[in-house]
Structure 1
Amino acid sequence: MLPAFALAGLSVACGAGGNGSGGSQPSSSAAPEVPSVSKDAKLAAMVPPAIAADGKIVVGQDQSYAPNEFVDSSGKVTGFDVDLGNAIGQKLGLQMEYQNAAFSGILAGLGSGQYELAMSSFSVNPERLQTVDMVTYYSAGTSLAVPKGNPDKISLDDLCGKNVAVQQGTVQVDDLTAKSADCTKAGKPAINMQQFQQQTDVNLQVQTKRSQAMLADSPVVDYAIKQTNGAVETVGQPYDTAPYGIALKKGQGTYAQAVQGAVQALIDDGTYAKILAKWGLSTSGAIAKAEINPAS
């Protein structure tokens, strides 16, 4: 994740997702279903036989990151990544089986063979590209969120000495670590970074004012604001925009090309745009070209 604030929907975690309010989870029942797409035999043939043999792709995901991936009020796994993942599976003629996991452990699970694909709002960065292949499918930035009214007058320019919540394993952890180092170099107090396994817990920290602020992917923060009826709000504009990538274990022949081809086909036929519209994601995050391991 940028990796991004999750309430019911963008990121994956060890338990069922929630809306971060301590109440019921968001429901996706009002959102229109995305029409199914047809199998592309050429792309399907590019999937390694070891993966295609059982008719499914096992997907590692942290389902606490609404609206990207989450568990809704009916107990159904849903979200932008889920809808897009299902459409990719249809293009490849395979079912997608989503397995919930702690975000920080998903890529390790991919490397060990526990998962055959990871789709959980992973921002593409040089560190991740050292260990996995990544197929781009969206672009998101990091947003700063605070309790309604910004009672502590938080700003991105000065988080020194502040209590800031983030999800473990996300790019926001690295971002805050660097910002905190800048604070101490300037003779100011370090940032008190509060890390949580699930994005829903991060959201709750801010909503209940136990943390003064949080950093998360821009679409996650936007969705959290809606789900909390404005109990949290953003400060400033998203920054450090980077693509989300579907992660695949390296050295699997034409598997990455098959996934890239499926994403591109969905962009070209309009399915991708329909999925974005369903989840209210900004068109500014839409991409026109899916890439494998783009240069940073």
Structure 2
Amino acid sequence: MAGCGSGGDGSGGGTAAGPSTAPLPAVAKDDALAAQVPAPISADGKIVFGTDASYPPNEFVDTDGRTIIGMDVDLGTAVAQKLGLAAEFQNSAFPGIIPGIQGGRYELGMSSFTINDERLQTVDMVSYFSAGTSLATRAGNPDRVTLDTLCGRAIGVQAGTVQVEDLAARNASCVDNGKAPIQVTELQQQTDVTLALTSNRIVGMLADAPVIAYAVQTTGNQLQVVGSQYDTAPYGIVLAKNQAGFASAVQGAVQALMADGTYKAILDKWSVGEGAIPSSEIRS
């Protein structure tokens, strides 16, 4: 992907509120953690991250059309700095990031990946955030869409996300109960899903709660959240299996950022502090 498909701020229209302009704390290298990074990764002085920059405020393209910014980018950059390395974020279609990790194209994946058993079969993950799924509709909810009335409705979702599986299960329930199937619109970029909703091509969309909240905030009051978030689960930084030292270094870096206040400052910058977790864990 060269950039967002629906507007320079990645919001699908409207005026972006933008992050806090307060400076983030300087991040000091931790020599002990840096020593755990495998030499093939540290040799070039950087960590290459795969990310899908269409998921604001977590990862998206800035108004210059090139620079990738967001909560995940700030946190990933801080993790790299704690390990004495630079961070390079490469834009990728979401479904291609984990295969890119497995194939060695990326050294880490940081793109709002929910930790689940399916992903842990092929990669390891280091937890750093928590989020559930939310439903958004057009402002005023003119179609009276709720989570209990999705059958027969046009609902949008980004390809490769946990919400695809959620919609599939809900759709099976619709069919099993003799109701019309959900008209699923599955798009490659979340920003395009948001645009489809604001342009009235769909009547609702499912996405991670902070992404839905940001879309509501940045689309000029065109959207609203319906109900509460559900299925809350941790996000994980993705890395290839059989890299115990690297996983330990990444987990230690996240934990150190939590301890020194950098983690909180980054989440507060992007107004996503509700997703903070008390400690980071390696999941494999």
TM interval, short-chain normalised: over 0.9
Asked if the contact 1:31/1:279 (under 8 Å) is kept, the reply is no
Whether 1:38 and 2:28 are equivalent positions in the alignment is: yes
How far did 1:285 drift? 1.3
From 184, 190, 200, the equivalent of 2:181 is 190
Deviation at 1:22, TM superposition (A): 5.1
The one-letter amino acid paired with 1:122 is: F
> Equivalents in 1 of 2:2, 2:221: separation in Å?
25
1:72-123 CA-partner distances (Å, limit 9, x unpaired)? 1134211100110111011000011000000011101110001000000000
- From 61, 68, 72, give the equivalent of 2:51: 61
Aligned equivalent of 2:104, options 113, 123, 126: 113
SS at match of 1:60: strand
Q: Distance in 2 between matches of 1:27 and 1:142?
A: 22
Q: Distance in 2 between matches of 1:278 and 1:33?
A: 9
Report the Cα distance in structure 2 between the residues aligned to 1:194 and 1:22, rounded to whole angstroms. Answer: 19
Task: Give the length in aligned residue pairs.
Answer: 279
Determine the structure 1 residue equivalent to 2:143.
152
**Residues 91 and 257 from structure 1, CA distance in 2 versus in 1: closer, same or farther, beyond 3 angstroms?**
same
1:285 aligned residue: 275
Deviates more, 1:240-249 or 1:71-80: 71-80
Gaps of 5+ in 2: none
Measure, in 2, the Cα distance between the counterparts of 1:280 and 1:182.
35
Pair 1:99 & 2:99 matched: no
TM-score (norm 1): 0.91
CA deviation profile, 1:222-249 (whole Å, cap 9, x unmatched): 0011110210101000000000000000
1:132-168 superposed Cα distances (whole Å, 9 cap, x missing partner): 1000000000000001111110010120011000000
Q: CA deviation at 1:209?
A: 1.1
Question: Do the aligned partners of 2:157 and 2:205 also contact (CA within 8 Å) in 1?
Answer: yes
Return the alpha-carbon distance in structure 1 between the equivalents of residues 282 and 244 of structure 2: 13
Counterpart of 1:195, as a letter, is: E
Partners of 1:27 and 1:188 lie apart in 2 by 40
| Contact 2:14–2:220 (8 Å) recurs in 1 | no
Note the alpha carbon deviations across 1:16-46, whole angstroms, 9 max, x for none: 134343578x485762231221000000000
- Cα RMSD of the aligned pairs, angstroms, is 1.5
Distance 2:211 2:12 in 1: 15
- Residue matched to 2:3: 16
- Is residue 50 from structure 1 mapped to residue 40 from structure 2 by the alignment? yes
Partner AA of 1:47 in structure 2: V
Query: Aligned runs of 1:1-296 on 2, under 5 Å?
Result: 14-17=1-4, 18=7, 19-21=10-12, 26=16, 28=18, 31-75=21-65, 76-281=67-272, 283-293=273-283
Which segments of 5 or more consecutive residues in structure 1 lack a partner in the other structure?
1-13
Shift of 1:253: 3.3
Partner of 1:160: helix, strand, or coil? coil
- Secondary structure at the aligned position of 1:254 is classed as helix
Q: d(CA) in 2 for partners of 1:21 and 1:122? A: 22
Q: Alpha-carbon deviation of 1:252? A: 1.6
Q: Is the 8 A contact 2:193 2:205 kept in 1?
A: yes
Deviation of 1:71 (Å): 1.1
Is the contact made by 1:69 and 1:120 (CA closer than 8 Å) also made in structure 2?
yes
Following TM superposition, the consecutive aligned residue runs of length 4 or more in structure 1 with deviations greater than 6 angstroms are none
1:244-269, Cα deviation, whole Å (9 max, x unpaired): 00000001231001000000000011
Aligned-partner residue type, residue 38 of structure 1: A
Structure 2: distance between partners of 1:57 and 1:71: 19
Question: Which residue type is aligned with residue 53 of structure 1?
Answer: A
